[in-house]
């Protein structure tokens, strides 16, 4: 009996052991089978979601949710197996940790899970047959796919068309007002293309004002000219625009549509109408706007308020978009589902079309990203939302961002990458570029609203319209959740969370959250600032082993727990803004899938992990603002896929240390993008191997390069700095160059005569704290240069530009741009110039080769043709500069001599006199100049277009021609020591809106003529101890701020309050 029992036990154990061996032996085959099953399941899932969307079948919905869960679990398992295999192969410590027995145990455990998921997917596949879910079918073309569908707008069209055709006024403005998505633009286009309207008007023009456009007369005239000429214009002169528009509308009955107006400034409207008064009687301006106030201010007729569609009109539109041939669905549950959608859309055609297309779109293979309808032509509306998504994940993921949240573009793309939403169609295309295409497609189709651009015109951030965000939430379903204080129950199936509530005060929510063990995304709001204790962080890390995204920014973390290394699937880790972090745990280098590591503003972080080279998939290492970093780790240069590295710190004695990385770490990092700042270059000695190791010339994706030398105690070697800078020549594509703290006497060859050829695409240059440099390189032929900053060059005495053919000796290919000819206007694109703390600078001279001394002043007239902002501070000896004729935005003068302003006035007079004297010879030659080019002195005053003037730390205001300040909006006067009375000429600056006077110790009174400044809205006066009186009345003043003016307050405090 006992033998039979023992035999049975042995058979059971041996049988189980044999099963385990068989499972281990078949493990690789099972993994491959699971991969193939996932591929098939993905196609089934897409088809099932479409079928559910069009039928609304509740049972099918449960099946879809089951399939989603199984699909995601299978994906998690495959990622975990793959990551563990890679880590085991590359890391000795891991191989030791995973002893032979432990590796077998792990593989056995994984084999069991793989088989369990295969069985689960097989069961779900059997259920598929019940619901008759077939694999991919060719998409059925809907009537809504071919052309714009318009429902319920005939009455609106007739009413507005009647006003356009009947009125005989000189120039009427008809506003269409309505909320976003109601169809204002589409209605305007229907009217614009109407045959009766086309026959009635001799000329029709369409101008679209985007969200980012400021209402500006010049911009509107520019767009009118571009519409008429079918070309794009780059910064055309205002007078040319005015002339062209007047010629083309003169004597014609015209219709101008201004689409997307948001201006509520009546003065701007009057300025625009003044430019458009040359047409025939009956000319019309039709505007679309979301602002009722804008419509009232602009309109000569009451605003036409466009309402949403009726429920039946909305239903008809949805049927045509979502259902075949526009027929109502037969099944009652589908009918009810569609009616619910109509209610959600609130009569907005754009929303109905978006939701309808979301129901009807048959999506091809999911690996090809997002398909969009390209930007609409003039015959369709720019406000419409009609993208057809092949993949919904990218759009649905945006549901995690709350209403009115500003979404950083690159952050969003990195989050998409971390979730595996982005796939490159070929091996040569970076995922970031594909992500950018996705983003711009959504932006072009108005799913995103443009919010901010950088200086090169690249979109930096966006936001989502409330209606579009509602659509994203609808598409995301239960997959994404925002948790706030109102939340009561957290859906355990959700894999993406944004936690808006306090983790400390919401213990129940936290407990529920911890039960969602399959979480992939844990985000905190962008504006979050708090403090998470170690226990909470440990729980987050230990429970969520499938996390792809972990955001703990600004959480008051003092120490990152070593357990972070257990999150093997983590691709995105944000620890930025945690000022108390000193070191990162070495275990962080086990995160082999990590793509993005954000450490920005971790101001006390002293060093990066020593074995950072193990993060083989790292693409973005964000360490901007890490002020305490002492050096780079050895081996950083092995991360050749790295694209973001804003900061590179040279450590002291780098060349002699084996554990810190020197400049040579940059050698192979040729995929770097954006900005690179190299700090502490003074630690590099030219006679070491470090001197020529950065290889900046090969980094063609970088937009900005900043080279910084730190202040060094004791003697410096100028020759060492000169030789080093010679080796740090950037790629020709670089747009911004900064050189700070350089101690050489001369700039390198690639910055002298050759800069025109070596760096032809420079848009901005910053040269500062180069205290030994006596000369600047000639920069006048950099035809892309828009911003120039020169500061704290204490040895600089003269800036001299020479107009001659730049050297071609060191031309480097790669920029793809041909330099401008030598006859080009100097500084042809420069818009912003700053000269700061140049105590010995006396002048800025420009000489044209071959021009006699007698005629030297003439070329100065064209030195800064586009300059808009000029700041000259603490340059007490500067008395001469090239003429800044077209200064429009801002002039700031601090601690400068009045001779500088006098010199500008003198140059204008001499230039005009020279041109008039030589007008005969000029007109008879091939030159384009003539006496008519220089009408009068006042017309070409350097300050005629100026909007803001800031003057500080000078004795008096002599030399300023106040009568020419016809566009001045803001005037700031600080520390004008001899100022007793404001110059009477200031009263001619009738456009002045803001006047600020600070620390003018001798100022006694503000004159009565101040009341003549009808546009003045804000007056600030402070630290004027001798000021005793203000004008009796300043009619339009909205804000008066007075401080530290004791005599004024003692004498008339009560009266001042009453009057103002």
pLDDT by residue (tens digit) across 831-849?
A: 999 999 999 999 998 665 5
Which two structure tokens, joined as six digits, stand for 591? 């995160």
Q: What is the pLDDT of residue 26?
A: 58
Sign, Cα dihedral of 591, 592, 596, 597: positive
Lowest-pLDDT choice from 383-387, 469-473, 616-620: 383-387
Lowest-pLDDT choice from 203-212, 309-318, 506-515: 506-515
**Short-list 743, 624, 637, 741, CA closest to 693:** 637
Q: State the distance between the two ends of the chain, measured CA to CA, in whole angstroms.
A: 112
DSSP 364-381: --GGG----PPPP-TTS-
Task: Kindly report the backbone phi and psi dihedral angles of residue 286, in degrees, each rounded to the nearest multiple of 5, phi listed first.
Answer: -105, 120
DSSP 876: T
Question: Is the per-residue pLDDT at 856 higher than 50?
Answer: no
State how far the Cα of 650 lies from the Cα of 645, in Å rounded to an integer. Answer: 14
Question: Is the per-residue pLDDT at 105 higher than 60?
Answer: yes
Q: What is the pLDDT of residue 468?
A: 80
**Short-list 1015, 896, 882, CA closest to 947:** 1015
Mean pLDDT of 691-718: 87
Per-residue pLDDT band for 859 (boundaries 50, 70, 90) equals very low
Tally of CA atoms within 13 A in the half-sphere of 320 that contains its CB: 18
State how far the Cα of 371 lies from the Cα of 388, in Å rounded to an integer. Answer: 6
Question: Is the per-residue pLDDT at 285 higher than 50?
Answer: yes
Question: Is the per-residue pLDDT at 388 higher than 80?
Answer: no
Q: What is the pLDDT of residue 315?
A: 86
Strand partners, 574: 551, 598
Mean pLDDT of 251-279: 88
Mean pLDDT of 708-720: 84
Q: What is the pLDDT of residue 1052?
A: 53
Which two structure tokens, joined as six digits, stand for 911? 């230039």
- How high is the mean pLDDT of the chain? 78
971-988 pLDDT per residue, tens: 999 999 999 999 988 988
Q: What is the pLDDT of residue 560?
A: 94
pTM of the entire structure? Answer: 0.72
Q: What are the strands, taking DSSP E only, across 2-139?
A: none
H helices present in 215-331, as ranges: 217-229, 238-249, 266-275, 292-298, 311-322
Question: Is the per-residue pLDDT at 699 higher than 70?
Answer: yes
- Whole-number Cα distances in Å, 391 to 31, 868, 1020: 25, 46, 56
State how far the Cα of 431 lies from the Cα of 417, in Å rounded to an integer. Answer: 7
Mean pLDDT of 459-480: 81
> Which residues are within 8 A (CB) of 962 and not within 5 positions of it... i.e. 6 or more apart?
983, 985, 986, 988, 989
Q: What is the pLDDT of residue 915?
A: 59
Strand partners, 873: 836, 894
135-190 pLDDT per residue, tens: 444 333 333 333 456 778 889 999 999 999 986 778 899 999 988 778 888 899 99
Q: What is the pLDDT of residue 387?
A: 31
**pLDDT, greater one: 784 or 516:** 784
* CA-only gyration radius of the chain, Å: 35
Q: What is the pLDDT of residue 136?
A: 43
Lowest-pLDDT choice from 46-60, 172-186, 823-837, 884-898: 46-60
871-883 pLDDT per residue, tens: 999 999 999 888 8
**Short-list 859, 841, 1009, 852, CA closest to 929:** 859
**pLDDT, greater one: 1045 or 291:** 1045
Question: Is the per-residue pLDDT at 252 higher than 50?
Answer: yes
Per-residue pLDDT band for 536 (boundaries 50, 70, 90) equals confident
Q: What is the pLDDT of residue 477?
A: 76
**pLDDT, greater one: 484 or 350:** 350
Q: Are 202 and 404 in contact (CB under 8 A)?
A: no
H helices present in 479-561, as ranges: 507-514, 534-543
Strand partners, 647: 677
**pLDDT, greater one: 48 or 524:** 524
> Which residues are within 8 A (CB) of 508 and not within 5 positions of it... i.e. 6 or more apart?
none
Per-residue pLDDT band for 489 (boundaries 50, 70, 90) equals low
Per-residue pLDDT band for 521 (boundaries 50, 70, 90) equals very high
Per-residue pLDDT band for 796 (boundaries 50, 70, 90) equals very high
Q: Are 737 and 708 in contact (CB under 8 A)?
A: no
Angle at 829 between CA 826 and CA 834, to 5 degrees: 90
Question: Is the per-residue pLDDT at 538 higher than 90?
Answer: no
Q: Are 153 and 190 in contact (CB under 8 A)?
A: yes
595-635 pLDDT per residue, tens: 999 999 999 999 999 999 999 999 999 999 999 999 999 99
> Which residues are within 8 A (CB) of 999 and not within 5 positions of it... i.e. 6 or more apart?
974, 975, 1022, 1023, 1024
Q: What is the pLDDT of residue 56?
A: 55
Which 3 state secondary structure label does DSSP give 236? coil
348-367 pLDDT per residue, tens: 887 777 666 655 543 333 22
Q: What is the pLDDT of residue 938?
A: 44
**pLDDT, greater one: 302 or 903:** 302
């Amino acid at each position: 009996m006992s033998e039979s029992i023992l035999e049975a036990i042995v058979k059971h154990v041996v049988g189980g052991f044999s099963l385990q061996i068989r499972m281990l032996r078949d493990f690789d085959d099972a993994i491959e089978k699971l991969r193939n099953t996932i591929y098939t399941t993905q196609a089934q899932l897409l088809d099932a979601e479409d079928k559910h969307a069009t039928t609304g079948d509740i049972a099918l919905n449960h099946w879809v949710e089951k399939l989603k869960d199984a699909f995601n679990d299978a994906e998690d398992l495959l990622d975990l197996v793959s990551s563990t295999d890679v880590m085991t192969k590359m890391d000795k410590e891991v191989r030791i940790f995973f002893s032979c027995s432990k590796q077998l145990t792990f593989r056995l455990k994984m084999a069991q899970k793989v088989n369990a998921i295969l069985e689960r997917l097989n069961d779900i596949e059997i259920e598929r047959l019940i619901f008759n879910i077939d694999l991919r079918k060719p998409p059925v073309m809907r009537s809504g796919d071919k052309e714009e569908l318009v429902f319920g707008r005939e009455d609106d069209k007739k009413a507005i068309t009647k006003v356009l055709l009947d009125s005989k006024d000189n120039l009427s403005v008809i506003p269409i007002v309505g909320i976003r998505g109601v169809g204002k633009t589409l209605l305007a286009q229907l009217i614009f293309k109407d045959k009766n309207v086309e026959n009635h008007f001799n000329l029709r023009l369409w101008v679209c004002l985007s969200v980012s456009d400021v209402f500006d007369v010049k911009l509107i005239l520019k767009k009118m000219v571009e519409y008429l000429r079918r070309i794009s214009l780059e910064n055309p002169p205002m007078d040319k625009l005015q002339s062209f528009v007047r010629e083309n509308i003169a004597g014609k009955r015209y219709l101008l549509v201004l689409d997307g107006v948001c201006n509520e400034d009546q003065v701007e409207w009057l300025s625009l109408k003044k430019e458009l008064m040359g047409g025939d009687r009956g000319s019309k301006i039709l505007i679309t706007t979301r602002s009722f106030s804008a419509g009232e201010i602009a309109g000569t007729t009451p605003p036409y308020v466009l309402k949403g569609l009726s429920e039946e009109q909305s239903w008809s539109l949805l049927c045509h978009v979502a259902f075949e041939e526009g027929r109502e669905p037969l099944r009652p549950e589908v009918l009810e589902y569609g009616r619910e959608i109509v209610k959600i859309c609130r009569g907005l055609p754009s929303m109905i079309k978006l939701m309808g297309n979301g129901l009807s779109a048959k999506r091809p293979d999911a690996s090809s990203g997002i398909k969009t309808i390209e930007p609409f032509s003039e015959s369709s509306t720019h406000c419409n939302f009609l993208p057809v998504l092949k993949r919904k994940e990218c759009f649905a993921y945006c549901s995690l961002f709350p209403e009115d949240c500003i979404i950083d573009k690159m952050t969003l793309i990195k989050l998409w990458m971390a979730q595996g939403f982005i796939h490159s169609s070929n091996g040569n295309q970076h995922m970031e570029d594909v992500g950018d295409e996705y983003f711009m497609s959504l932006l072009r189709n108005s799913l995103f609203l443009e919010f901010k651009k950088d200086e090169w015109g690249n979109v930096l951030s966006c936001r989502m319209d409330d209606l579009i965000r509602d659509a994203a939430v609808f598409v995301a379903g239960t997959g994404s959740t925002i948790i706030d204080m109102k939340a009561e129950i957290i859906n355990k199936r959700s894999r993406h969370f944004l936690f808006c509530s306090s983790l400390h005060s919401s213990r129940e929510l936290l407990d529920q959250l911890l039960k969602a063990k399959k979480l992939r995304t844990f985000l905190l709001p962008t504006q979050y600032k708090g403090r998470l204790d170690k226990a909470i962080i440990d729980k987050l890390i230990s429970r969520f082993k499938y996390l792809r995204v972990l955001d703990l920014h600004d959480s008051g973390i003092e120490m990152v727990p070593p357990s972070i290394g257990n999150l093997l699937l983590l691709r995105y880790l944000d620890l930025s803004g945690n000022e108390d972090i000193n070191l990162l745990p070495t275990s962080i280098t086990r995160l082999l899938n990590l793509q993005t590591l954000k450490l920005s503003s971790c101001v006390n972080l002293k060093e990066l992990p020593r074995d950072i080279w193990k993060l083989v998939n790292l693409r973005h290492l964000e360490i901007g603002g890490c002020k305490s970093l002492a050096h780079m780790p050895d081996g950083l240069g092995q991360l050749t896929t790295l694209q973001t590295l804003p900061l590179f710190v040279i450590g002291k004695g780098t060349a002699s240390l084996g554990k810190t990385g020197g400049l040579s770490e940059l050698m192979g990092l040729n995929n770097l993008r954006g900005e690179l700042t190299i700090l502490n270059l003074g630690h590099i000695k030219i006679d070491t191997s470090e001197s020529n190791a950065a290889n900046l010339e090969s980094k063609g994706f970088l937009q900005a390069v900043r080279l910084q030398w730190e202040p060094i105690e004791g003697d410096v070697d100028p020759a060492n700095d000169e030789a080093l800078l010679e080796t740090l020549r950037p790629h020709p594509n670089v747009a911004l160059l900064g050189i700070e703290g350089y101690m050489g006497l001369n700039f390198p060859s690639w910055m002298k005569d050759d800069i025109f050829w070596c760096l032809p695409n420079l848009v901005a240059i910053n040269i500062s704290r180069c205290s030994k440099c006596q000369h600047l390189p000639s920069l006048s032929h950099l035809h892309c240069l828009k911003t120039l900053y020169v500061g704290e060059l204490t040895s600089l005495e003269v800036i001299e530009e020479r107009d001659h053919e730049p050297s071609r000796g060191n031309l480097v290919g790669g920029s793809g741009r041909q330099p401008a000819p030598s006859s080009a206007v100097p500084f042809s694109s420069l818009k912003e110039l700053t000269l700061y703390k140049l105590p010995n600078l006396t002048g800025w001279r420009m000489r044209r080769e071959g021009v006699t001394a007698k005629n030297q002043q003439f070329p100065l007239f064209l030195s800064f043709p586009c300059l808009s902002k000029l700041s000259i501070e603490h340059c007490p000896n500067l008395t001469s500069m090239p003429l800044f004729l077209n200064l429009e935005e801002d002039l700031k003068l601090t601690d400068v001599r009045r001779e500088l302003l006098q010199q500008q006035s003198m140059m204008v007079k001499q230039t005009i006199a020279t041109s008039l004297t030589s007008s005969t010879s000029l007109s008879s030659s091939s030159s384009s100049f003539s006496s008519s080019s220089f009408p009068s002195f006042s017309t070409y005053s350097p300050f005629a277009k100026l909007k803001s003037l800031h003057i500080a730390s000078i004795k008096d205001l002599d030399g300023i021609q106040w009568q020419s300040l016809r566009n001045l909006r803001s005037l700031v006067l600080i520390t004008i020591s001899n100022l007793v009375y404001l110059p009477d000429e200031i009263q001619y600056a009738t456009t002045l809106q803001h006047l600020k006077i600070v620390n003018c110790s001798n100022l006694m009174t503000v004159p009565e003529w101040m009341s003549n400044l009808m546009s003045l809205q804000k007056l600030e006066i402070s630290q004027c101890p001798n000021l005793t009186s203000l004008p009796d009345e300043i009619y339009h003043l909205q804000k008066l701020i007075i401080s530290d003016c004791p005599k004024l307050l003692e004498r008339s405090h009560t009266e001042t309050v009453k009057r103002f």
